[in-house]
Structure 1
């Protein structure tokens, strides 16, 4: 497989919900691509997920869901979420996205931010920070750096 197609596949895997960079970074390293390029491409692609996801949620809500009982559910979630946002701020969302477990990536973080009523600019910053942190953790684990540090102890 040509290198260009591997980079394209790396971006494609990163864009898959539930896999995201948690799966694409180890895959890129298994293909012997340079770790710094893999991390950079995976993080950039994963951060860019925010824009279409947030826009799609806003459009879906404004066009169809706001006319149904869903509006009441969303408003209730936003009221209940305000104390969480006040207490943890956007860093709470960033840490949620940063945890390298299935279901805590950019897609879920964006949906959670929308559900809690975070403005798009604050939500983008939090999701981007979380993706960068997750990318660092997954890269360190996948390259064995953390295992090497642990063996020194």
Structure 2
């Protein structure tokens, strides 16, 4: 672990973990705190890192999915991702931007910015509305995880 920390700073590690699917800021903030960062510092880095892939996902996901779906080797995987995402995001479909905000704000597995961005893209939510909803929802999730991390550190 020390070798990794020598190569990457703690801050870069938190940013990179936050940008990863599945982990996102829900994993990055506790990791940052465990590395000695304050919960606020870890939350800010986690928020910034988790927002890095959002514009790319919102802009490029649908065209990439359409292109990959034409290939029989990828069709099954793309259809599985699409069905799984749409099944998990019924409230997003019903309430659009507000549903997207609430979906991303809940700090549970598979409710973060990656799934929210996929849902926004598949549901054709306009970029500026989707990005703002994802950002605000992510801020709420960051606050919740930061508070949990703060309590855990001071317990």
Query: Among 25, 31, 41, which residue is 2:29 paired with?
Result: 25
Q: How does 1:10-89 map to 2 (within 5 A)?
A: 10-65=14-69, 85=93, 88-89=95-96
Instruction: Count the aligned residue pairs.
Output: 140
- Aligned CA RMSD, in angstroms, stands at 3.2
Deviation at 1:142, TM superposition (A): 1.0
Deviation at 1:64, TM superposition (A): 4.5
1:143 aligns with 2:150: yes
Deviation at 1:35, TM superposition (A): 2.0
* TM-score, scaled to structure 2: 0.75
Deviation at 1:56, TM superposition (A): 2.6
Partner of 2:119: 112
After superposing on structure 2, the runs of 4+ consecutive aligned residues of structure 1 that deviate more than 4 Å are 66-71
Given the superposition, is the C-alpha separation of residues 84 and 41 from structure 1 closer, same or farther in structure 2, using an over 3 Å criterion? closer
Give unpaired runs (5+ residues) of structure 2.
none
Question: In structure 1, how many angstroms separate the alpha carbons of the residues matched to 2:21 and 2:39?
Answer: 22
Show CA shifts across 1:13-51 (max 9, x none).
Answer: 111111100011011111111222211111111122211
Give unpaired runs (5+ residues) of structure 1.
149-153
Question: In structure 1, how many angstroms separate the alpha carbons of the residues matched to 2:53 and 2:71?
Answer: 27
* TM-score, scaled to structure 1: 0.76
